[in-house]
Structures are given as structure tokens and as C-alpha cells.
């Protein structure tokens, strides 16, 4: 099994009590990640079975984020 982490589309809107978040790789409403935002390291090299969604990273990078 593999865990694929997604980047939230608007992380500043999270108040810590959210049920879902829109994700950066989705073009419109409808697909979201369950739960609140988690601190996940950018480098998941030491986390077998985990990776970032490449579409989310591309979309997030084009927004000028790190």
C-alpha cells in the first residue's frame, strides 16, 4: 500500500477544525483531502510507501511556493 500526500489548495483557510480541504491538483471543487492540514516533510526519502502527488507539487510550485 502507498500513501500519496496532496498539497492543500488554500492552506491559509484552515482553522484546524476542517473536515476537508481542496487539493492543488484538482481544477475545481469536488475532490478534497479529508481532515485538517498535517505537517508532512517535503522530503519523504526516509518514509517508505509514502510520496507526494507530483501534480500537486507542480501546481504548488507554479504558485510561487517553496
| DSSP H or E run through 57 | helix 54-62
pLDDT of residue 50: 93
Q: How do residues 5-51 score in pLDDT, each as one tens digit?
A: 888 887 787 777 777 778 888 776 666 776 666 778 888 888 899 99
Q: How confident is the model at residue 66 (pLDDT cuts 50, 70, 90)?
A: very low
pLDDT of residue 49: 94
Q: How confident is the model at residue 64 (pLDDT cuts 50, 70, 90)?
A: low
What is the Cα–Cα distance from 5 to 52, expressed in whole angstroms?
5
Please check whether residue 5 is in contact with residue 34, taking contact to mean a CB–CB distance below 8 angstroms: no
Write the CB contacts of 31 (distance below 8 Å, at least 6 apart in sequence).
22, 23
pLDDT of residue 62: 64
Amino acid at each position: 500500500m502507498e500513501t500519496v500526500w496532496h498539497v492543500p489548495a488554500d492552506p491559509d483557510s484552515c482553522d484546524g477544525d476542517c473536515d476537508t480541504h481542496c487539493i492543488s491538483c484538482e481544477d475545481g471543487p469536488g475532490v478534497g483531502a479529508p481532515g485538517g492540514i498535517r505537517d508532512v516533510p517535503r522530503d519523504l526519502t526516509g518514509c517508505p510507501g509514502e510520496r507526494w502527488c507530483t501534480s500537486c507539487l507542480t501546481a504548488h510550485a507554479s504558485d510561487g511556493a517553496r
